[in-house]
């Protein structure tokens, strides 16, 4: 996918000699950028994506992150920020939908920050989990050959990178409202649920088909032990397979509904799979939580 190559092109009159050239470029980039006519067709703008790199002291490595700005971004205005895990697969989708809905004032115009992985096969599990599970998603008991320090349990370091390095960098470099949304799917959803037991900075959490089964529902157990009092919007979605996974998610939902500080919306996708529910989850979630 094309990342960090498209820059906003605005204020070009409809009679400009460059119009035809722009239209050809926009057609060629239909799946990697979003083109929109604005206010009586007096200008054309293309969604802007920028790649940055930050050295993380907590992770002891360079990490890249991708930023997409809303239509007609201006430093004189302030914008909420949406952070998206698994950016390799999810950034283009979420930034395009966010850009379009914001342009038509269906949601607040927002900055989208994509967080990719260095090595998604191994490092993703380390970054997004806080322990080493002894149970699988179907309820099967497993030993240390399944989950160990080589593939899981580094979530605290990643959490510190996210909250103490990346988010402050975004708020320093861009004009933000300090209103943060986190989008997490699968392990990323588990991560979003786990940090409810911590002093996290997010006003909104999207938790899609979360791996609440991990370490036999430790997310739910931790949440039950605390007195959660931060006003938070949570949009949680899930599907039925396998049964153990569904059971653990529904136990978590039950606990969330008991808390008066949480504004919870849920969606059960009986006919979708673990991955296919992401698109509808995001569209419905962002229109409910980012107005």
Q: What is the DSSP string of 85-113?
A: ESHHHHHHHHHHHHHHHHHTTSS---EEE
3-state SS class at 182? strand
pLDDT tens for each residue of 142-186: 999 999 999 999 999 999 999 999 999 999 999 999 999 999 999
Exposure string of 195-224, with b = 16+ CB inside 10 Å and e = fewer, is: bbbeebbbbbbbbbbbbbbbbbbbbbebbe
Task: Report yes or no: 62 and 91 within 8 Å, Cβ to Cβ.
Answer: no
Whole-model pTM above 0.95?
no
Residue ranges and CATH numbers for the domains of the chain are: 1-46 (no CATH), 48-289 (3.40.50.1820)
Q: Using omega within 30 degrees of 0 as the cis cutoff, is the peptide bond preceding 242 cis?
A: yes
3-state SS class at 4? coil
pLDDT tens for each residue of 196-234: 999 999 999 999 999 999 999 999 999 999 999 999 999
């Amino acid at each position: 996918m094309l990342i960090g190559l498209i820059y906003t092109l605005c204020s070009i009159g409809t009679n400009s000699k460059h119009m035809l050239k722009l239209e050809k470029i926009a057609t060629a980039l239909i799946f990697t950028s979003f083109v929109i006519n604005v206010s009586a067709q007096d200008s054309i703008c293309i969604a802007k994506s920028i790649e940055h790199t930050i050295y993380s002291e907590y992770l002891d490595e360079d990490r890249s992150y991708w930023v997409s700005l809303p239509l007609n971004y201006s430093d004189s205005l302030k914008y909420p920020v949406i952070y998206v895990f698994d950016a390799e697969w999810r950034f283009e989708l979420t930034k395009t939908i966010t850009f379009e809905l914001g342009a038509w004032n269906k949601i607040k115009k927002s900055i989208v920050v994509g967080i990719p992985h260095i090595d998604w096969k191994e490092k993703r599990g380390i970054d997004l989990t806080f322990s080493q599970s002894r149970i699988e998603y179907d309820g099967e008991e497993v030993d240390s050959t399944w989950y160990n320090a080589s593939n899981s349990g580094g979530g605290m370091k990643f959490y510190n990178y996210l909250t103490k390095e990346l988010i402050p960098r975004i708020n320093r470099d861009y004009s933000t409202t300090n209103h943060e949304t986190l989008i997490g799917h699968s392990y990323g959803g588990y991560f979003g649920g786990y940090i409810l037991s911590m002093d996290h900075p997010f006003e909104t959490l999207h938790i899609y088909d979360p791996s609440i089964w991990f370490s036999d529902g430790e997310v739910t157990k931790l949440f039950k032990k605390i007195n959660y009092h931060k006003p938070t919007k949570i949009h949680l979605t899930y599907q039925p397979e396998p049964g153990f996974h569904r059971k653990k998610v529904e136990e978590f939902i039950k606990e969330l509904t008991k808390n008066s500080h949480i504004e919870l919306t849920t969606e059960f996708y009986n006919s979708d799979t673990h991955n296919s529910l992401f698109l509808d989850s995001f569209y419905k979630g962002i229109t409910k939580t980012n107005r």
